Chains A and B, each alone.
Chain A
Amino acid sequence: MKNNMISKEDLEHLAQISRINLTENELEKFPKQLDKTIEYIDILKELALDDSVKLDLPELRFEELRKDEINMSDDMRLSKNITEDGFLRGPKMK
Protein backbone atom coordinates (compact mmCIF):
# COMPACT_ATOMS: atom_id res chain seq x y z
CA MET A 1 0.00 0.00 0.00
CA LYS A 2 2.85 2.35 0.83
CA ASN A 3 3.55 3.18 -2.81
CA ASN A 4 0.01 4.56 -3.11
CA MET A 5 0.20 7.07 -0.32
CA ILE A 6 -1.20 10.44 -1.27
CA SER A 7 1.06 13.20 0.00
CA LYS A 8 -0.11 16.73 0.61
CA GLU A 9 1.60 17.68 -2.69
CA ASP A 10 -0.25 14.92 -4.56
CA LEU A 11 -3.48 16.17 -3.08
CA GLU A 12 -2.75 19.72 -4.12
CA HIS A 13 -2.07 18.49 -7.66
CA LEU A 14 -5.34 16.52 -7.76
CA ALA A 15 -7.19 19.56 -6.43
CA GLN A 16 -5.58 21.72 -9.08
CA ILE A 17 -6.56 19.44 -11.98
CA SER A 18 -10.06 19.13 -10.47
CA ARG A 19 -10.26 22.94 -10.13
CA ILE A 20 -11.20 22.81 -6.47
CA ASN A 21 -9.77 24.86 -3.64
CA LEU A 22 -9.42 22.87 -0.46
CA THR A 23 -9.71 24.35 3.01
CA GLU A 24 -6.85 23.96 5.52
CA ASN A 25 -8.92 21.39 7.37
CA GLU A 26 -9.47 19.37 4.18
CA LEU A 27 -5.80 19.54 3.22
CA GLU A 28 -5.09 18.07 6.63
CA LYS A 29 -7.61 15.23 6.71
CA PHE A 30 -8.15 14.29 3.03
CA PRO A 31 -4.78 12.53 2.39
CA LYS A 32 -5.56 9.87 4.98
CA GLN A 33 -9.18 9.46 3.84
CA LEU A 34 -8.27 9.27 0.15
CA ASP A 35 -5.51 6.79 0.97
CA LYS A 36 -8.04 4.51 2.57
CA THR A 37 -10.34 4.77 -0.44
CA ILE A 38 -7.52 4.05 -2.87
CA GLU A 39 -6.36 1.16 -0.72
CA TYR A 40 -9.93 -0.16 -0.89
CA ILE A 41 -10.28 0.06 -4.68
CA ASP A 42 -6.74 -1.29 -5.06
CA ILE A 43 -8.18 -4.79 -4.66
CA LEU A 44 -9.08 -4.44 -8.37
CA LYS A 45 -5.42 -5.12 -9.21
CA GLU A 46 -5.90 -8.76 -8.13
CA LEU A 47 -8.20 -9.19 -11.10
CA ALA A 48 -6.52 -10.64 -14.14
CA LEU A 49 -8.78 -9.16 -16.78
CA ASP A 50 -7.46 -8.67 -20.26
CA ASP A 51 -8.91 -7.33 -23.47
CA SER A 52 -10.97 -10.50 -23.93
CA VAL A 53 -13.42 -9.03 -21.44
CA LYS A 54 -15.17 -6.26 -23.30
CA LEU A 55 -15.49 -2.74 -21.93
CA ASP A 56 -19.06 -2.40 -23.18
CA LEU A 57 -21.75 -4.16 -21.24
CA PRO A 58 -22.83 -7.45 -22.83
CA GLU A 59 -26.32 -7.56 -24.36
CA LEU A 60 -26.98 -3.89 -23.71
CA ARG A 61 -28.54 -2.40 -26.79
CA PHE A 62 -30.22 0.88 -27.26
CA GLU A 63 -32.91 1.63 -29.76
CA GLU A 64 -32.09 3.54 -32.88
CA LEU A 65 -31.04 7.13 -32.40
CA ARG A 66 -33.64 9.65 -33.45
CA LYS A 67 -33.20 11.70 -36.57
CA ASP A 68 -31.58 15.08 -36.04
CA GLU A 69 -34.57 17.19 -36.89
CA ILE A 70 -35.33 20.74 -35.83
CA ASN A 71 -38.28 20.89 -33.45
CA MET A 72 -39.82 23.85 -31.66
CA SER A 73 -39.02 23.91 -27.97
CA ASP A 74 -41.78 23.12 -25.47
CA ASP A 75 -40.76 26.25 -23.62
CA MET A 76 -43.31 28.92 -24.52
CA ARG A 77 -40.92 31.73 -23.69
CA LEU A 78 -38.63 30.61 -26.47
CA SER A 79 -41.34 30.63 -29.08
CA LYS A 80 -42.84 34.01 -28.14
CA ASN A 81 -41.42 36.82 -30.23
CA ILE A 82 -37.89 36.59 -28.96
CA THR A 83 -36.28 35.70 -32.23
CA GLU A 84 -34.69 38.42 -34.30
CA ASP A 85 -33.06 37.86 -37.68
CA GLY A 86 -33.05 34.13 -36.98
CA PHE A 87 -31.29 34.55 -33.63
CA LEU A 88 -32.63 34.18 -30.10
CA ARG A 89 -32.65 37.46 -28.22
CA GLY A 90 -31.31 37.19 -24.66
CA PRO A 91 -31.93 39.52 -21.73
CA LYS A 92 -29.99 42.82 -21.68
CA MET A 93 -26.72 42.82 -19.77
CA LYS A 94 -26.87 45.06 -16.70
Chain B
Amino acid sequence: MTNLKDLLAHEVVVGLTEGQFSAEEYVISILKRIEEVESKVHSFITLDSEGALSSAKILDKKLREKEEIGQLAGVVVGIKDNISTQGIRTTCASRILEKYVPTYDATVIKNLKENGAIILGKLNLDEFGMGSTTEYSRYQPTHNPWNLDYVPGGSSGGSGAAVAAGECTVALGSDTGGSIRCPSSFCSVVGLKPTYGRVSRYGLISYANSLEQIGPICRSVKDLVMMLNIISGKDRMDSTSMSSSPITVSNKSNNLNVAIIKELITDSDPEVTKSVYGASEKFREIGCSCEEVSINNLNYALPSYYTLASAEASSNLARYDNLRYGFDYPIEEYKWETYFSNVRESFGEEVKRRILIGSYVLSSGYYGKYYLKARRLRSLLRLELLTLFKKYDLLIGPTMPILPFKFGEKIDDPIKMYLVDINTVLANLAGIPAISLPIGFSNGLPIGLQIMAAPFEEQKLLDASYELEKVINIQRVPNSI
Protein backbone atom coordinates (compact mmCIF):
# COMPACT_ATOMS: atom_id res chain seq x y z
CA MET B 1 0.00 0.00 0.00
CA THR B 2 1.12 3.57 -0.66
CA ASN B 3 2.68 5.31 2.31
CA LEU B 4 -0.15 6.99 4.24
CA LYS B 5 1.41 10.45 4.01
CA ASP B 6 1.43 10.29 0.20
CA LEU B 7 -2.32 9.77 -0.16
CA LEU B 8 -4.40 12.28 -2.09
CA ALA B 9 -7.45 13.80 -0.40
CA HIS B 10 -9.99 11.59 -2.18
CA GLU B 11 -7.91 8.51 -1.28
CA VAL B 12 -7.83 9.57 2.38
CA VAL B 13 -11.62 9.81 2.50
CA VAL B 14 -12.05 6.38 0.86
CA GLY B 15 -9.36 4.71 3.00
CA LEU B 16 -10.86 6.09 6.17
CA THR B 17 -14.44 5.20 5.29
CA GLU B 18 -13.41 1.66 4.32
CA GLY B 19 -11.52 1.24 7.58
CA GLN B 20 -8.06 0.80 5.95
CA PHE B 21 -6.60 3.13 8.57
CA SER B 22 -7.80 5.48 11.29
CA ALA B 23 -7.79 9.27 11.14
CA GLU B 24 -5.34 9.27 14.04
CA GLU B 25 -2.92 6.99 12.15
CA TYR B 26 -3.13 9.26 9.14
CA VAL B 27 -2.51 12.44 11.14
CA ILE B 28 0.46 10.76 12.87
CA SER B 29 1.96 9.89 9.47
CA ILE B 30 1.68 13.55 8.42
CA LEU B 31 3.19 14.77 11.71
CA LYS B 32 6.09 12.36 11.20
CA ARG B 33 6.63 13.79 7.73
CA ILE B 34 6.64 17.30 9.18
CA GLU B 35 9.25 16.22 11.70
CA GLU B 36 11.43 15.01 8.83
CA VAL B 37 11.21 17.97 6.49
CA GLU B 38 9.97 21.08 8.29
CA SER B 39 13.43 22.12 9.44
CA LYS B 40 14.39 22.40 5.76
CA VAL B 41 11.17 23.74 4.22
CA HIS B 42 9.82 26.06 6.96
CA SER B 43 6.22 26.02 5.75
CA PHE B 44 4.51 26.53 9.09
CA ILE B 45 4.16 29.55 11.32
CA THR B 46 1.96 27.71 13.84
CA LEU B 47 1.57 23.94 13.98
CA ASP B 48 -1.42 22.69 15.99
CA SER B 49 -0.49 19.00 16.36
CA GLU B 50 -2.60 18.57 19.48
CA GLY B 51 -5.68 20.10 17.91
CA ALA B 52 -5.25 17.95 14.80
CA LEU B 53 -4.83 14.76 16.83
CA SER B 54 -7.84 15.52 18.97
CA SER B 55 -9.99 16.23 15.85
CA ALA B 56 -8.77 12.91 14.42
CA LYS B 57 -9.81 11.05 17.56
CA ILE B 58 -13.27 12.62 17.45
CA LEU B 59 -13.56 11.58 13.81
CA ASP B 60 -12.50 8.02 14.61
CA LYS B 61 -15.13 7.85 17.34
CA LYS B 62 -17.77 9.05 14.88
CA LEU B 63 -16.64 6.37 12.43
CA ARG B 64 -16.90 3.66 15.06
CA GLU B 65 -20.38 4.85 15.97
CA LYS B 66 -21.34 5.05 12.29
CA GLU B 67 -22.17 8.74 12.44
CA GLU B 68 -22.03 11.10 9.47
CA ILE B 69 -18.39 12.14 8.91
CA GLY B 70 -18.48 14.56 5.98
CA GLN B 71 -17.07 14.73 2.48
CA LEU B 72 -13.56 15.70 3.56
CA ALA B 73 -13.31 13.31 6.49
CA GLY B 74 -9.72 12.96 7.66
CA VAL B 75 -8.26 15.31 5.05
CA VAL B 76 -5.49 17.29 6.75
CA VAL B 77 -5.58 20.94 5.73
CA GLY B 78 -2.91 23.60 6.16
CA ILE B 79 -4.24 27.15 6.26
CA LYS B 80 -2.53 30.30 5.04
CA ASP B 81 -1.93 32.44 8.10
CA ASN B 82 -4.15 35.30 6.92
CA ILE B 83 -7.35 33.23 7.26
CA SER B 84 -8.96 33.45 10.70
CA THR B 85 -9.01 30.28 12.78
CA GLN B 86 -10.81 30.27 16.11
CA GLY B 87 -8.35 29.65 18.92
CA ILE B 88 -5.32 29.40 16.62
CA ARG B 89 -3.04 32.43 16.31
CA THR B 90 -3.42 34.22 12.97
CA THR B 91 -0.40 36.45 12.35
CA CYS B 92 -0.41 37.42 8.65
CA ALA B 93 3.36 36.89 9.12
CA SER B 94 3.40 40.36 10.65
CA ARG B 95 4.63 41.62 14.00
CA ILE B 96 1.51 43.74 14.31
CA LEU B 97 -0.63 40.59 14.64
CA GLU B 98 1.89 38.32 16.36
CA LYS B 99 -0.42 37.68 19.32
CA TYR B 100 -3.76 37.80 17.54
CA VAL B 101 -5.96 34.79 18.28
CA PRO B 102 -9.28 35.08 16.42
CA THR B 103 -12.46 34.40 18.36
CA TYR B 104 -14.21 33.08 15.26
CA ASP B 105 -13.58 30.89 12.23
CA ALA B 106 -13.56 32.23 8.69
CA THR B 107 -16.51 30.82 6.73
CA VAL B 108 -14.18 28.58 4.70
CA ILE B 109 -12.77 27.09 7.93
CA LYS B 110 -16.26 26.54 9.30
CA ASN B 111 -17.20 24.73 6.08
CA LEU B 112 -14.09 22.56 6.18
CA LYS B 113 -14.64 21.56 9.80
CA GLU B 114 -18.32 20.76 9.19
CA ASN B 115 -17.18 18.37 6.48
CA GLY B 116 -14.74 16.46 8.64
CA ALA B 117 -11.51 18.14 7.50
CA ILE B 118 -8.74 18.39 10.10
CA ILE B 119 -7.07 21.79 10.54
CA LEU B 120 -3.35 21.20 11.04
CA GLY B 121 -1.94 24.67 11.43
CA LYS B 122 -1.06 27.98 9.85
CA LEU B 123 1.21 28.38 6.87
CA ASN B 124 3.80 30.99 6.00
CA LEU B 125 3.23 33.93 3.65
CA ASP B 126 4.68 37.29 2.72
CA GLU B 127 3.51 39.79 5.34
CA PHE B 128 -0.22 40.46 4.71
CA GLY B 129 0.11 38.65 1.38
CA MET B 130 2.35 41.31 -0.11
CA GLY B 131 5.10 39.57 -2.03
CA SER B 132 5.92 36.72 -4.38
CA THR B 133 8.56 34.69 -2.49
CA THR B 134 7.75 34.57 1.28
CA GLU B 135 10.95 36.54 1.82
CA TYR B 136 8.79 39.34 3.21
CA SER B 137 7.49 37.13 6.04
CA ARG B 138 8.56 38.48 9.44
CA TYR B 139 9.38 34.88 10.34
CA GLN B 140 11.77 32.97 8.12
CA PRO B 141 11.27 32.44 4.40
CA THR B 142 9.84 29.12 3.20
CA HIS B 143 12.09 27.03 0.94
CA ASN B 144 11.07 25.35 -2.30
CA PRO B 145 10.86 21.57 -1.70
CA TRP B 146 12.12 20.94 -5.25
CA ASN B 147 15.34 22.79 -4.55
CA LEU B 148 15.88 24.30 -1.14
CA ASP B 149 18.07 27.13 -2.51
CA TYR B 150 15.10 28.50 -4.44
CA VAL B 151 12.02 30.49 -3.41
CA PRO B 152 8.67 28.64 -3.29
CA GLY B 153 6.78 31.59 -4.79
CA GLY B 154 4.32 33.71 -2.87
CA SER B 155 2.54 35.01 -1.20
CA SER B 156 0.95 31.62 -0.28
CA GLY B 157 4.45 30.07 -0.36
CA GLY B 158 3.93 28.11 2.85
CA SER B 159 0.77 26.55 1.36
CA GLY B 160 2.45 25.60 -1.94
CA ALA B 161 5.55 24.17 -0.27
CA ALA B 162 3.64 22.26 2.45
CA VAL B 163 1.43 20.52 -0.13
CA ALA B 164 4.39 19.66 -2.38
CA ALA B 165 6.45 18.43 0.58
CA GLY B 166 3.62 16.23 1.88
CA GLU B 167 3.24 18.18 5.12
CA CYS B 168 -0.54 18.28 4.67
CA THR B 169 -3.03 16.69 2.27
CA VAL B 170 -4.22 20.01 0.85
CA ALA B 171 -3.99 23.68 1.75
CA LEU B 172 -5.87 26.93 1.49
CA GLY B 173 -4.24 30.04 0.11
CA SER B 174 -5.48 33.46 -0.89
CA ASP B 175 -4.87 35.18 -4.22
CA THR B 176 -4.84 38.96 -4.64
CA GLY B 177 -2.54 39.19 -7.68
CA GLY B 178 -1.37 35.62 -8.15
CA SER B 179 -0.62 34.52 -4.60
CA ILE B 180 -2.13 31.04 -5.06
CA ARG B 181 -1.00 30.44 -8.63
CA CYS B 182 2.60 31.63 -8.24
CA PRO B 183 3.56 29.15 -5.48
CA SER B 184 1.52 26.42 -7.20
CA SER B 185 3.58 26.94 -10.35
CA PHE B 186 6.91 27.13 -8.49
CA CYS B 187 6.14 24.04 -6.34
CA SER B 188 4.51 21.84 -9.05
CA VAL B 189 1.08 21.63 -7.44
CA VAL B 190 -2.42 22.66 -8.59
CA GLY B 191 -3.85 25.95 -7.33
CA LEU B 192 -7.04 27.78 -8.19
CA LYS B 193 -8.10 31.38 -7.80
CA PRO B 194 -11.88 31.12 -8.02
CA THR B 195 -14.20 33.65 -9.67
CA TYR B 196 -14.57 36.75 -7.49
CA GLY B 197 -17.59 36.00 -5.30
CA ARG B 198 -17.57 32.18 -5.55
CA VAL B 199 -15.90 31.79 -2.14
CA SER B 200 -16.75 33.83 0.95
CA ARG B 201 -14.01 36.18 2.13
CA TYR B 202 -15.45 36.41 5.64
CA GLY B 203 -12.53 35.89 8.01
CA LEU B 204 -9.86 36.51 5.39
CA ILE B 205 -7.75 39.37 6.73
CA SER B 206 -8.08 42.09 4.14
CA TYR B 207 -5.31 43.32 1.91
CA ALA B 208 -7.19 44.39 -1.27
CA ASN B 209 -10.84 43.38 -0.99
CA SER B 210 -11.89 44.00 -4.58
CA LEU B 211 -9.20 41.67 -5.94
CA GLU B 212 -8.75 38.78 -3.53
CA GLN B 213 -10.25 35.32 -3.20
CA ILE B 214 -9.50 32.29 -1.03
CA GLY B 215 -8.73 29.12 -3.00
CA PRO B 216 -7.38 25.57 -2.69
CA ILE B 217 -3.86 24.28 -3.39
CA CYS B 218 -3.68 20.51 -3.95
CA ARG B 219 -1.69 17.68 -5.52
CA SER B 220 -4.48 16.71 -7.94
CA VAL B 221 -7.35 18.35 -9.81
CA LYS B 222 -9.82 15.91 -8.24
CA ASP B 223 -8.74 17.02 -4.74
CA LEU B 224 -9.05 20.63 -5.80
CA VAL B 225 -12.63 20.09 -6.97
CA MET B 226 -13.53 18.45 -3.63
CA MET B 227 -12.11 21.40 -1.73
CA LEU B 228 -13.68 24.01 -3.99
CA ASN B 229 -17.16 22.51 -3.64
CA ILE B 230 -16.91 22.64 0.15
CA ILE B 231 -15.68 26.24 0.40
CA SER B 232 -17.91 27.77 -2.33
CA GLY B 233 -21.29 29.34 -1.87
CA LYS B 234 -23.34 32.30 -0.78
CA ASP B 235 -22.49 33.43 2.72
CA ARG B 236 -24.58 35.89 4.68
CA MET B 237 -21.39 37.29 6.19
CA ASP B 238 -19.96 38.37 2.81
CA SER B 239 -22.29 40.38 0.63
CA THR B 240 -20.04 39.89 -2.43
CA SER B 241 -20.36 36.10 -2.23
CA MET B 242 -22.66 34.32 -4.63
CA SER B 243 -24.29 30.92 -4.97
CA SER B 244 -22.88 28.62 -7.65
CA SER B 245 -23.45 25.09 -8.92
CA PRO B 246 -21.16 22.38 -7.57
CA ILE B 247 -18.40 21.19 -9.89
CA THR B 248 -18.31 17.60 -11.10
CA VAL B 249 -15.18 15.72 -12.16
CA SER B 250 -15.56 14.25 -15.60
CA ASN B 251 -13.92 13.85 -19.00
CA LYS B 252 -15.85 16.23 -21.17
CA SER B 253 -13.39 18.83 -22.32
CA ASN B 254 -13.53 17.82 -25.99
CA ASN B 255 -14.15 20.51 -28.55
CA LEU B 256 -13.30 23.42 -26.32
CA ASN B 257 -11.95 26.52 -28.05
CA VAL B 258 -8.68 27.45 -26.42
CA ALA B 259 -6.49 30.48 -27.12
CA ILE B 260 -2.94 31.29 -26.05
CA ILE B 261 -2.50 34.91 -25.03
CA LYS B 262 0.37 36.06 -27.24
CA GLU B 263 1.57 38.84 -24.92
CA LEU B 264 2.01 36.41 -22.03
CA ILE B 265 4.37 34.28 -24.11
CA THR B 266 6.50 37.00 -25.70
CA ASP B 267 8.63 37.98 -22.73
CA SER B 268 8.75 34.62 -20.98
CA ASP B 269 11.81 32.51 -20.31
CA PRO B 270 12.34 30.32 -23.44
CA GLU B 271 12.07 27.14 -21.36
CA VAL B 272 8.69 28.28 -20.02
CA THR B 273 7.48 29.19 -23.53
CA LYS B 274 8.53 25.79 -24.84
CA SER B 275 6.54 24.04 -22.12
CA VAL B 276 3.44 26.14 -22.77
CA TYR B 277 3.54 25.38 -26.50
CA GLY B 278 3.94 21.73 -25.54
CA ALA B 279 0.81 21.99 -23.40
CA SER B 280 -1.11 23.63 -26.25
CA GLU B 281 -0.32 20.53 -28.32
CA LYS B 282 -1.81 18.42 -25.55
CA PHE B 283 -4.97 20.50 -25.75
CA ARG B 284 -5.21 19.54 -29.42
CA GLU B 285 -4.62 15.88 -28.48
CA ILE B 286 -7.66 15.93 -26.22
CA GLY B 287 -9.79 17.35 -29.01
CA CYS B 288 -9.66 21.11 -28.35
CA SER B 289 -8.75 23.77 -30.87
CA CYS B 290 -5.91 26.09 -29.96
CA GLU B 291 -4.94 29.38 -31.58
CA GLU B 292 -3.22 32.62 -30.55
CA VAL B 293 -4.95 35.85 -29.52
CA SER B 294 -3.87 39.31 -28.44
CA ILE B 295 -5.14 41.44 -25.56
CA ASN B 296 -4.89 45.15 -26.29
CA ASN B 297 -4.29 46.76 -22.94
CA LEU B 298 -2.30 44.04 -21.25
CA ASN B 299 0.79 46.20 -20.69
CA TYR B 300 -1.30 48.45 -18.44
CA ALA B 301 -2.54 45.56 -16.28
CA LEU B 302 0.35 45.40 -13.82
CA PRO B 303 0.65 49.17 -13.19
CA SER B 304 -3.11 49.26 -12.76
CA TYR B 305 -2.98 46.32 -10.35
CA TYR B 306 -0.28 47.88 -8.16
CA THR B 307 -2.16 51.17 -8.08
CA LEU B 308 -5.41 49.55 -6.93
CA ALA B 309 -3.88 46.97 -4.58
CA SER B 310 -1.74 49.60 -2.83
CA ALA B 311 -4.66 52.02 -2.54
CA GLU B 312 -6.85 49.37 -0.94
CA ALA B 313 -3.98 48.20 1.29
CA SER B 314 -3.31 51.69 2.62
CA SER B 315 -6.94 51.93 3.65
CA ASN B 316 -7.28 48.36 5.02
CA LEU B 317 -4.09 48.48 7.06
CA ALA B 318 -5.00 51.79 8.67
CA ARG B 319 -6.87 49.76 11.30
CA TYR B 320 -3.69 48.44 12.93
CA ASP B 321 -3.19 50.83 15.81
CA ASN B 322 -1.94 48.18 18.26
CA LEU B 323 -4.71 48.96 20.73
CA ARG B 324 -7.28 46.30 19.99
CA TYR B 325 -4.74 43.63 19.07
CA GLY B 326 -1.01 43.82 18.76
CA PHE B 327 2.20 43.41 20.66
CA ASP B 328 3.22 44.80 24.05
CA TYR B 329 4.12 48.43 23.72
CA PRO B 330 3.60 50.69 26.69
CA ILE B 331 1.37 53.67 26.09
CA GLU B 332 3.00 55.96 28.67
CA GLU B 333 4.65 59.15 27.46
CA TYR B 334 3.01 59.00 24.08
CA LYS B 335 0.39 61.17 22.52
CA TRP B 336 -2.14 59.38 20.38
CA GLU B 337 -0.57 60.23 17.01
CA THR B 338 2.99 59.42 17.99
CA TYR B 339 1.94 56.13 19.55
CA PHE B 340 0.07 55.16 16.40
CA SER B 341 3.02 55.98 14.12
CA ASN B 342 5.56 54.40 16.44
CA VAL B 343 3.94 51.00 16.67
CA ARG B 344 3.34 50.98 12.92
CA GLU B 345 7.09 51.26 12.43
CA SER B 346 7.05 47.50 13.02
CA PHE B 347 5.42 46.79 9.65
CA GLY B 348 7.91 45.21 7.26
CA GLU B 349 9.49 47.29 4.48
CA GLU B 350 7.29 45.99 1.67
CA VAL B 351 4.09 46.65 3.61
CA LYS B 352 5.31 50.18 4.34
CA ARG B 353 6.18 50.79 0.69
CA ARG B 354 2.72 49.69 -0.42
CA ILE B 355 0.94 51.78 2.21
CA LEU B 356 3.00 54.81 1.13
CA ILE B 357 2.29 54.22 -2.56
CA GLY B 358 -1.38 53.75 -1.67
CA SER B 359 -1.44 57.08 0.17
CA TYR B 360 0.31 58.69 -2.80
CA VAL B 361 -2.12 57.47 -5.50
CA LEU B 362 -5.11 58.40 -3.37
CA SER B 363 -3.92 61.90 -2.51
CA SER B 364 -5.39 64.98 -4.08
CA GLY B 365 -3.90 65.72 -7.49
CA TYR B 366 -2.95 62.10 -8.11
CA TYR B 367 -6.28 60.38 -7.46
CA GLY B 368 -7.60 61.00 -10.99
CA LYS B 369 -4.24 60.46 -12.61
CA TYR B 370 -3.60 57.03 -11.10
CA TYR B 371 -6.44 55.56 -9.05
CA LEU B 372 -9.40 56.42 -11.28
CA LYS B 373 -7.42 55.59 -14.42
CA ALA B 374 -6.56 52.20 -12.97
CA ARG B 375 -10.23 51.56 -12.15
CA ARG B 376 -11.28 52.44 -15.70
CA LEU B 377 -8.52 50.32 -17.22
CA ARG B 378 -9.75 47.45 -15.08
CA SER B 379 -13.27 47.80 -16.52
CA LEU B 380 -11.83 47.92 -20.02
CA LEU B 381 -9.80 44.75 -19.49
CA ARG B 382 -12.81 42.90 -18.10
CA LEU B 383 -14.90 43.98 -21.07
CA GLU B 384 -12.22 42.84 -23.48
CA LEU B 385 -11.94 39.46 -21.75
CA LEU B 386 -15.73 38.96 -21.65
CA THR B 387 -15.77 39.58 -25.40
CA LEU B 388 -12.95 37.07 -25.94
CA PHE B 389 -14.82 34.50 -23.86
CA LYS B 390 -17.71 34.68 -26.31
CA LYS B 391 -15.37 33.14 -28.86
CA TYR B 392 -13.05 31.06 -26.68
CA ASP B 393 -13.82 28.79 -23.73
CA LEU B 394 -10.39 29.07 -22.18
CA LEU B 395 -7.42 31.42 -22.35
CA ILE B 396 -3.98 30.05 -21.53
CA GLY B 397 -0.40 31.17 -20.95
CA PRO B 398 2.45 30.59 -18.55
CA THR B 399 1.51 31.13 -14.88
CA MET B 400 4.94 32.60 -14.23
CA PRO B 401 7.06 34.22 -16.94
CA ILE B 402 10.19 32.83 -15.30
CA LEU B 403 11.45 29.74 -13.51
CA PRO B 404 11.75 29.73 -9.70
CA PHE B 405 14.72 31.86 -8.66
CA LYS B 406 17.18 31.91 -5.76
CA PHE B 407 16.68 33.76 -2.47
CA GLY B 408 17.77 37.37 -2.48
CA GLU B 409 17.70 37.78 -6.27
CA LYS B 410 14.89 40.36 -6.33
CA ILE B 411 14.49 41.43 -2.74
CA ASP B 412 16.16 44.83 -3.11
CA ASP B 413 14.36 45.87 -6.27
CA PRO B 414 10.58 46.18 -5.76
CA ILE B 415 9.86 46.57 -9.48
CA LYS B 416 11.73 43.37 -10.34
CA MET B 417 9.66 41.63 -7.68
CA TYR B 418 6.38 43.14 -8.96
CA LEU B 419 7.12 41.97 -12.51
CA VAL B 420 6.91 38.37 -11.30
CA ASP B 421 3.12 38.89 -11.11
CA ILE B 422 2.75 40.17 -14.66
CA ASN B 423 0.78 37.14 -15.96
CA THR B 424 -1.42 36.53 -12.95
CA VAL B 425 -2.88 39.96 -12.07
CA LEU B 426 -5.16 39.91 -15.11
CA ALA B 427 -7.51 37.34 -13.55
CA ASN B 428 -7.77 39.36 -10.32
CA LEU B 429 -8.45 42.62 -12.14
CA ALA B 430 -11.15 40.97 -14.27
CA GLY B 431 -12.57 38.83 -11.43
CA ILE B 432 -12.32 35.63 -13.50
CA PRO B 433 -11.23 32.15 -12.39
CA ALA B 434 -7.67 31.01 -13.11
CA ILE B 435 -5.76 27.83 -12.32
CA SER B 436 -2.09 26.91 -12.35
CA LEU B 437 -1.44 23.36 -13.50
CA PRO B 438 2.02 21.72 -13.47
CA ILE B 439 3.22 20.99 -17.01
CA GLY B 440 6.92 20.28 -16.77
CA PHE B 441 10.38 21.00 -15.38
CA SER B 442 13.52 22.73 -16.53
CA ASN B 443 16.68 21.69 -14.70
CA GLY B 444 14.51 20.25 -11.95
CA LEU B 445 12.53 23.49 -11.49
CA PRO B 446 8.74 23.35 -11.98
CA ILE B 447 6.77 25.13 -14.73
CA GLY B 448 3.02 25.86 -14.49
CA LEU B 449 0.35 26.52 -17.11
CA GLN B 450 -2.26 29.15 -16.35
CA ILE B 451 -5.77 28.48 -17.65
CA MET B 452 -8.45 31.18 -17.36
CA ALA B 453 -12.20 31.02 -18.01
CA ALA B 454 -15.20 33.35 -18.00
CA PRO B 455 -16.74 34.27 -14.61
CA PHE B 456 -18.26 31.22 -12.87
CA GLU B 457 -17.10 28.89 -15.67
CA GLU B 458 -14.94 26.84 -13.29
CA GLN B 459 -16.58 23.66 -14.61
CA LYS B 460 -15.01 24.13 -18.06
CA LEU B 461 -11.71 25.15 -16.51
CA LEU B 462 -11.56 22.09 -14.29
CA ASP B 463 -12.79 19.67 -16.98
CA ALA B 464 -9.87 20.70 -19.16
CA SER B 465 -7.43 20.65 -16.23
CA TYR B 466 -8.57 17.18 -15.19
CA GLU B 467 -8.02 15.75 -18.63
CA LEU B 468 -4.78 17.61 -19.27
CA GLU B 469 -3.43 16.43 -15.92
CA LYS B 470 -3.93 12.83 -17.01
CA VAL B 471 -2.27 13.37 -20.40
CA ILE B 472 0.68 15.31 -19.04
CA ASN B 473 1.13 13.31 -15.81
CA ILE B 474 3.63 15.44 -13.93
CA GLN B 475 5.41 14.50 -10.73
CA ARG B 476 3.85 16.33 -7.73
CA VAL B 477 6.11 15.35 -4.86
CA PRO B 478 9.90 15.70 -5.05
CA ASN B 479 11.88 12.45 -4.69
CA SER B 480 13.95 13.76 -1.83
CA ILE B 481 14.19 16.84 0.30
B-contacting residues of A (Cβ < 8 Å)?
A: 6, 11, 14-23, 26, 30, 33-34, 36-38, 40-45, 47, 49, 53-60, 62-63, 65-66, 74-75, 77
Contact = CB atoms under 8 A, between A and B. Distances in A.
| Of A15, A41, A54, most B-chain CB atoms within 10 Å | A41
Interface string B303-332: 110110000001000100000000000000
B299 A43 contact: yes
A37 B382 CA distance: 24
A57 to B, nearest CB: 5
11 contacts: A15-B356, A19-B318, A21-B344, A34-B360, A36-B415, A40-B302, A43-B300, A53-B376, A58-B379, A60-B382, A60-B431
B103 interface: yes
A58 B382 contact: yes
A19 B341 contact: yes
Interface in B256-305: 297, 299-300, 302-304
Interface of B: 103-104, 196-197, 234, 236, 239-240, 242-243, 297, 299-300, 302-304, 306-307, 314, 318, 337, 340-342, 344-345, 347, 349, 352-353, 355-361, 363, 369-370, 372-380, 382-383, 386, 413-415, 418, 430-431, 455
Contacts of B360: 6, 14, 34, 38
Contacts of A22: 345, 352
Nearest to B103: A75
Contacts of A38: 357, 360
A44 B239 contact: no
Closest 4 CB pairs of A and B: A21-B345, A41-B303, A49-B376, A53-B376
Contacts of B299: 43
Contact of B239 (A15, A40, A43, A65): A65
A14 B340 CA distance: 15
A11 B353 CA distance: 10
Contacts of B342: 21
B207 to A, nearest CB: 16
B452 to A, nearest CB: 16
A65 B413 CA distance: 43
A59 B197 CA distance: 13
B415 A40 contact: yes
Given A14-B360, A19-B318, A40-B306, A33 B414 contact: yes
Contacts of B361: 41
B353 A37 contact: yes
A69 to B, nearest CB: 10
Contacts of A37: 306, 353, 357, 414-415, 418
Given A19-B344, A20-B347, A44-B304, A66 B239 contact: yes
B411 to A, nearest CB: 12
Contacts of B415: 36-37, 40
A41 B349 CA distance: 19
Contacts of B455: 59-60
Given A63-B243, A74-B104, A77-B103, A34 B357 contact: yes
Given A49-B376, A53-B379, A54-B379, A18 B307 contact: no
Contacts of A16: 341
Given A14-B360, A19-B344, 20 more contacts: A14-B356, A14-B359, A15-B356, A18-B358, A20-B345, A21-B341, A36-B415, A37-B418, A38-B360, A40-B302, A40-B306, A44-B303, A53-B380, A56-B379, A57-B382, A59-B386, A60-B382, A60-B455, A62-B239, A75-B104
Contact of A18 (B234, B303, B355, B418): B355
A78 to B, nearest CB: 9
